Protein backbone atom coordinates (compact mmCIF):
# COMPACT_ATOMS: atom_id res chain seq x y z
CA UNK A 1 0.00 0.00 0.00
CA UNK A 2 2.80 2.39 0.83
CA UNK A 3 6.60 2.41 1.08
CA UNK A 4 8.82 2.32 4.15
CA UNK A 5 12.16 4.14 4.59
CA UNK A 6 13.97 1.03 5.92
CA UNK A 7 13.75 -2.74 5.46
CA UNK A 8 13.46 -3.18 9.24
CA UNK A 9 10.33 -1.10 9.42
CA UNK A 10 8.86 -2.96 6.45
CA UNK A 11 9.45 -6.25 8.27
CA UNK A 12 7.88 -4.87 11.45
CA UNK A 13 4.88 -3.75 9.47
CA UNK A 14 4.42 -7.23 8.01
CA UNK A 15 4.48 -8.85 11.45
CA UNK A 16 2.00 -6.44 13.01
CA UNK A 17 -0.27 -5.47 10.14
CA UNK A 18 -3.00 -7.82 11.42
CA UNK A 19 -3.35 -5.67 14.51
CA UNK A 20 -5.95 -3.05 13.59
CA UNK A 21 -4.77 -0.53 16.15
CA UNK A 22 -1.19 -0.82 14.93
CA UNK A 23 -2.27 -0.48 11.33
CA UNK A 24 -4.07 2.77 12.16
CA UNK A 25 -1.00 4.14 13.92
CA UNK A 26 1.25 3.28 10.99
CA UNK A 27 -1.19 4.82 8.53
CA UNK A 28 -1.08 8.08 10.50
CA UNK A 29 2.72 7.94 10.60
CA UNK A 30 2.85 7.36 6.86
CA UNK A 31 0.66 10.42 6.32
CA UNK A 32 3.17 12.47 8.33
CA UNK A 33 5.97 10.91 6.27
CA UNK A 34 4.45 12.28 3.07
CA UNK A 35 4.50 15.82 4.49
CA UNK A 36 7.83 15.73 6.31
CA UNK A 37 10.02 13.69 3.93
CA UNK A 38 11.87 16.81 2.81
CA UNK A 39 12.89 17.66 6.38
CA UNK A 40 14.65 14.36 7.01
CA UNK A 41 12.48 13.58 10.06
CA UNK A 42 10.21 10.99 8.45
CA UNK A 43 12.06 7.89 9.71
CA UNK A 44 11.63 9.15 13.29
CA UNK A 45 7.86 9.29 12.77
CA UNK A 46 7.73 5.65 11.65
CA UNK A 47 10.05 4.34 14.33
CA UNK A 48 8.30 6.26 17.08
CA UNK A 49 4.91 4.98 15.95
CA UNK A 50 6.22 1.42 16.01
CA UNK A 51 7.78 1.73 19.49
CA UNK A 52 4.65 3.32 20.95
CA UNK A 53 2.40 0.59 19.51
CA UNK A 54 4.60 -2.13 21.04
CA UNK A 55 4.32 -0.38 24.41
CA UNK A 56 0.55 -0.18 24.07
CA UNK A 57 0.40 -3.92 23.49
CA UNK A 58 2.37 -4.54 26.68
CA UNK A 59 0.23 -2.17 28.75
CA UNK A 60 -2.90 -0.39 27.50
CA UNK A 61 -2.73 1.94 30.46
CA UNK A 62 -2.04 5.43 29.06
CA UNK A 63 0.07 6.45 32.04
CA UNK A 64 2.40 3.47 31.58
CA UNK A 65 2.64 4.18 27.85
CA UNK A 66 3.53 7.80 28.49
CA UNK A 67 6.19 6.84 31.03
CA UNK A 68 7.89 4.42 28.61
CA UNK A 69 7.51 6.37 25.37
CA UNK A 70 10.70 7.83 23.90
CA UNK A 71 11.01 11.60 23.97
CA UNK A 72 8.48 12.05 26.82
CA UNK A 73 10.05 13.53 29.97
CA UNK A 74 8.21 12.74 33.18
CA UNK A 75 7.68 15.06 36.13
CA UNK A 76 9.91 13.16 38.54
CA UNK A 77 10.88 16.05 40.84
CA UNK A 78 8.15 16.57 43.44
CA UNK A 79 7.79 19.43 45.92
CA UNK A 80 7.66 18.09 49.47
CA UNK A 81 5.50 21.01 50.61
CA UNK A 82 2.64 21.01 48.10
CA UNK A 83 3.15 17.92 45.93
CA UNK A 84 3.54 19.79 42.65
CA UNK A 85 5.83 17.96 40.21
CA UNK A 86 8.39 19.19 37.68
CA UNK A 87 10.39 17.70 34.80
CA UNK A 88 13.61 19.50 35.72
CA UNK A 89 15.34 19.77 39.09
CA UNK A 90 16.07 23.46 38.47
CA UNK A 91 12.35 24.17 38.07
CA UNK A 92 11.66 22.44 41.40
CA UNK A 93 14.40 24.46 43.11
CA UNK A 94 12.89 27.69 41.78
CA UNK A 95 9.40 26.64 42.89
CA UNK A 96 10.54 25.70 46.41
CA UNK A 97 11.63 29.29 46.97
CA UNK A 98 7.94 30.23 47.00
CA UNK A 99 7.59 28.17 50.19
CA UNK A 100 10.91 29.12 51.77
CA UNK A 101 10.77 32.79 50.80
CA UNK A 102 14.35 32.55 49.59
CA UNK A 103 15.40 35.28 47.14
CA UNK A 104 19.10 34.75 46.41
CA UNK A 105 19.45 37.20 43.53
CA UNK A 106 19.95 40.75 44.82
CA UNK A 107 20.06 43.97 42.83
CA UNK A 108 23.35 45.80 43.41
CA UNK A 109 21.64 49.15 42.74
CA UNK A 110 18.75 49.08 45.22
CA UNK A 111 19.07 45.86 47.21
CA UNK A 112 15.78 44.36 46.01
CA UNK A 113 15.93 40.55 45.85
CA UNK A 114 14.38 38.00 43.49
CA UNK A 115 13.76 34.26 43.37
CA UNK A 116 14.97 33.85 39.77
CA UNK A 117 17.99 35.33 38.01
CA UNK A 118 15.87 36.23 34.99
CA UNK A 119 13.65 38.42 37.16
CA UNK A 120 16.72 40.23 38.48
CA UNK A 121 17.99 40.85 34.94
CA UNK A 122 14.61 42.32 33.97
CA UNK A 123 14.51 44.48 37.11
CA UNK A 124 17.99 45.90 36.55
CA UNK A 125 16.75 47.52 33.35
CA UNK A 126 14.83 49.94 35.57
CA UNK A 127 18.20 51.30 36.66
CA UNK A 128 20.09 50.99 33.36
CA UNK A 129 17.26 52.18 31.13
CA UNK A 130 17.92 49.29 28.75
CA UNK A 131 15.00 48.44 26.47
CA UNK A 132 16.08 45.56 24.22
CA UNK A 133 12.64 44.67 22.84
CA UNK A 134 11.61 46.94 19.96
CA UNK A 135 8.31 47.06 18.08
CA UNK A 136 8.84 46.45 14.36
CA UNK A 137 5.79 48.54 13.48
CA UNK A 138 6.51 51.81 15.27
CA UNK A 139 9.98 51.44 16.79
CA UNK A 140 8.89 51.83 20.42
CA UNK A 141 11.14 49.89 22.81
CA UNK A 142 10.41 47.99 26.01
CA UNK A 143 12.40 46.48 28.87
CA UNK A 144 10.29 43.31 28.95
CA UNK A 145 9.28 40.92 26.17
CA UNK A 146 5.77 40.64 27.64
CA UNK A 147 5.28 44.41 27.48
CA UNK A 148 6.23 44.36 23.80
CA UNK A 149 3.74 41.55 23.15
CA UNK A 150 0.93 43.57 24.75
CA UNK A 151 1.94 46.69 22.81
CA UNK A 152 1.98 44.85 19.47
CA UNK A 153 -1.71 44.08 19.94
CA UNK A 154 -2.38 47.79 19.42
CA UNK A 155 -1.22 47.28 15.84
CA UNK A 156 -2.78 43.87 15.23
CA UNK A 157 -6.04 44.53 17.08
CA UNK A 158 -5.67 41.19 18.85
CA UNK A 159 -7.57 40.86 22.14
CA UNK A 160 -6.98 37.31 23.41
CA UNK A 161 -8.40 37.74 26.92
CA UNK A 162 -12.19 37.32 26.90
CA UNK A 163 -14.67 37.83 29.73
CA UNK A 164 -16.58 34.58 30.30
CA UNK A 165 -19.67 36.50 31.40
CA UNK A 166 -20.16 39.13 28.67
CA UNK A 167 -17.59 38.01 26.05
CA UNK A 168 -15.89 41.40 25.98
CA UNK A 169 -12.22 41.03 25.00
CA UNK A 170 -9.04 42.74 26.19
CA UNK A 171 -5.44 43.06 25.08
CA UNK A 172 -3.93 42.06 28.41
CA UNK A 173 -4.90 39.96 31.41
CA UNK A 174 -4.75 42.81 33.92
CA UNK A 175 -7.43 44.78 32.05
CA UNK A 176 -9.63 41.68 32.03
CA UNK A 177 -9.12 41.30 35.80
CA UNK A 178 -10.23 44.91 36.36
CA UNK A 179 -13.24 44.44 34.06
CA UNK A 180 -14.42 41.32 35.93
CA UNK A 181 -15.01 43.49 38.98
CA UNK A 182 -17.90 45.09 37.08
CA UNK A 183 -19.65 41.73 37.33
CA UNK A 184 -18.39 40.65 40.77
CA UNK A 185 -18.78 44.02 42.47
CA UNK A 186 -15.34 43.64 44.04
CA UNK A 187 -13.75 46.92 45.17
CA UNK A 188 -10.32 46.12 46.64
CA UNK A 189 -8.99 49.70 46.75
CA UNK A 190 -10.14 51.85 49.66
CA UNK A 191 -9.53 55.54 50.31
CA UNK A 192 -7.57 56.06 53.54
CA UNK A 193 -9.30 59.37 54.18
CA UNK A 194 -13.00 58.61 53.74
CA UNK A 195 -13.19 54.82 53.48
CA UNK A 196 -14.85 54.78 50.05
CA UNK A 197 -14.00 51.66 48.03
CA UNK A 198 -13.09 51.44 44.33
CA UNK A 199 -12.59 48.70 41.75
CA UNK A 200 -9.48 50.37 40.29
CA UNK A 201 -6.41 51.77 42.03
CA UNK A 202 -6.49 54.95 39.97
CA UNK A 203 -10.05 55.63 41.09
CA UNK A 204 -9.04 55.47 44.76
CA UNK A 205 -6.32 58.05 44.12
CA UNK A 206 -8.89 60.24 42.36
CA UNK A 207 -11.17 59.89 45.39
CA UNK A 208 -8.33 60.98 47.67
CA UNK A 209 -7.81 64.10 45.53
CA UNK A 210 -11.50 64.87 45.88
CA UNK A 211 -11.26 64.68 49.67
CA UNK A 212 -8.18 66.93 49.72
CA UNK A 213 -9.86 69.43 47.38
CA UNK A 214 -13.04 69.52 49.50
CA UNK A 215 -11.03 70.14 52.65
C-alpha–C-alpha distance, residues 200 and 196, integer Å: 12
Q: What is the largest CA-CA distance in the chain?
A: 91
Residue 163, pLDDT score:
96
Is residue 173 within a helix (H) or strand (E), and if so which, with residue range? Answer: helix 173-184
| Local confidence pLDDT in tens for the 215 residues of the chain | 445 555 555 555 455 444 444 444 444 544 444 444 444 444 444 444 444 444 444 444 544 444 455 566 788 899 999 999 999 999 999 999 999 999 999 999 999 999 999 999 999 999 999 999 999 999 999 999 999 999 999 999 999 999 999 999 999 999 999 999 999 999 999 998 888 999 888 765 544 444 444 44
Q: Under DSSP, is residue 157 helix (H, G, I), strand (E, B) or coil? A: coil
Contact 152, 141 (CB under 8 A): no
CATH fold for the domain made of 159-215: Double Stranded RNA Binding Domain (3.30.160)
CATH 3.40.50.261 fits 105-155, yes or no: no
Residue 23, pLDDT score:
44
Residue 199, pLDDT score:
86
On whether the pTM is more than 0.85, the answer is no
Residue 141 bridge partners (DSSP):
134
- Domain coordinates in residue numbering, the chain: 7-58, 105-155, 159-215
The reply to whether domains 105-155 and 159-215 share a CATH topology is yes
Residue 10, pLDDT score:
57
Residue 203, pLDDT score:
61
C-alpha 16, offset from chain centre: 39
Amino acid sequence: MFGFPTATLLDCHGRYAQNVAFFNVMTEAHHKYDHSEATGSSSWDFQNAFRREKLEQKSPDSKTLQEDSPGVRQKVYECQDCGKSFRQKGSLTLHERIHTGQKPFECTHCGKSFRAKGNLVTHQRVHTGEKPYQCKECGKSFSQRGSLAVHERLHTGQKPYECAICQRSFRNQSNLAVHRRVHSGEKPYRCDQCGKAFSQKGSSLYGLKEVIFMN
